[in-house]
Amino acid sequence: MFFALIADEINIAKIRENIFNLSDEELIKSAKLLNLVPIPSNKYELEELIKNISPDYEKYPTTDKRIQLGKKLFFDPRLSRSGIISCNTCHNLALGGVDGIGASTGHKWQANSSHLNAPSVYNAVFNARQFWDGRINHLKEQAKGPLQANVEMASSSDDLVAKIKSIPEYVDEFKKAYSNDIDIDFDLIAASIGIFERTLITPSSFDEFLEGDINALTSTQKQGLKLFINKGCVMCHNGINIGGAFRGFGFNRYQYVNYGDFRGNENNRVKVPSLRNVAKTAPYFHNGSVWTLVEAVESMARIQLAIELSEEEIKDIIAFLKSLSGKMPQIVYPELPASSDETIRPRLDY
């Protein structure tokens, strides 16, 4: 095993060193060897992939009725204590799946206490870890956090279940989506939201390139990809989500380290952000303190790689990053069912 690891490191170093001399076909092959993985264009392959990486898929398979139910719950502000905030508030599907502000703001207009920036919900199903500290690897369990957090939606599991059960149309939809004798509980509500989130996938021209279409990227984007590999960005930003795993972060070299108190987990490890749709998801980094791709690319080279990039190199890498802007799924805003006389009223706590 030890010698295999050494061999792999030598091969990776050789690929990075020779990357600028490769043909388009060789670039595709090398990118895949470095674990840059396309979103499958074949819908059956894609569903099989989602099945294999979703911890609750066997218990809660994806169906159209569950997707539509989960979509309503995702957009329903009544899931919050105030009746104002929905999942879509911080993960706005019209804004690249983010809220576009430095520190996400929730109940009573409270900013996140650690000045944390909401990551995109698009392609989150592909993340090996959820939350900035990587404490969850599961869309269903991730959904439970904001629903109950005092500075986010500030609800409780008991209130959420009571609200859903007080709305006859929701009760009927849960029965149709699952079974007539289903017991609607907090786990099932969160699972339904996660099932909808499984569908929020954005294949891009980069995926077409990795699948063999050498004309899917411009020459500048291909040069940017080569720089992305040669400079070492690919060592953390890889996999199908071009990020989403768990790595150390150079907090001591980060110029905005004092914005908030987040320092990762106990080992200063942080979820690596996905670079998919990164051109649409400013501000950047865990505390949302960087607003341009130019500064983001320059900062990561300095903080993580201890190198300085030229203006031309930054420009080319950004051209590549823009190839990761994908085709957004068409989302029709749902009509939500009416509350009943028994539905818990909004509590603004002002």
Residue boundaries of the structural domains of the chain = 2-41+202-322, 44-197
Whole-model pTM: value is 0.94
Three-class SS state of 174? helix
Distance of CA 322 to the CA centre of its chain: 17
Residue 320: CB atoms within 10 A of its CB come to 23
Long-range contacts of 52-57 (CB under 8 A, 24+ apart): 53/125, 53/126, 54/125, 54/139, 54/194, 54/198, 55/137, 55/138, 55/140, 56/138, 56/139, 56/140, 56/191, 56/194
Is 163 within 8 Å of 344 (Cβ atoms)?
Answer: yes
Catalytic residues: 152
Residue 311: CB atoms within 10 A of its CB come to 9
Long-range contacts of 246-255 (CB under 8 A, 24+ apart): 246/128, 246/129, 246/134, 246/270, 246/271, 246/272, 247/272, 249/286, 249/303, 249/304, 250/303, 250/304, 253/302, 253/303, 254/285, 254/299, 254/303, 255/299
2-41+202-322 classified as CATH 3.40.50.1220: no
The CATH number of the structural domain formed by 44-197 is 1.10.760.10
Residue among 278, 271, 282 nearest 320 (CA): 278
pLDDT at 213: 98
pLDDT at 207: 98
Q: What angle do CA 342, 347, 348 make, to 5 degrees?
A: 155
Distance of CA 178 to the CA centre of its chain: 27
Residue among 115, 201, 107, 114 nearest 155 (CA): 107
Q: State which residues of the chain have pLDDT below 50.
A: 1-7
Beta strands in the chain (DSSP E): 246-248, 269-271
DSSP assignment letter at 92: B
Residue among 212, 176, 204 nearest 192 (CA): 176
Task: Evaluate whether 2-41+202-322 and 44-197 have a shared fold.
Answer: yes
What distances in angstroms separate CA 289 from CA 104, 153, 201, 285, 349, one per listed residue?
Answer: 12, 23, 26, 7, 29
pLDDT at 9: 57
What distances in angstroms separate CA 17 from CA 5, 10, 20, 33, 94, one per listed residue?
Answer: 18, 10, 8, 14, 40
Is 182 within 8 Å of 188 (Cβ atoms)?
Answer: yes
Look-up: residue for tokens 């009927």? Answer: 172
pLDDT at 7: 45
Residue among 228, 322, 325 nearest 31 (CA): 228
Q: 235-263 as b/e, with b when 16 or more CB fall inside 10 Å? A: ebbbbbbbbbbbbebeeeebeebebbebb
Report pLDDT digits (tens) over 157-195: 999 999 999 999 999 999 999 999 999 999 999 999 999
Which H or E run includes 163? helix 157-165
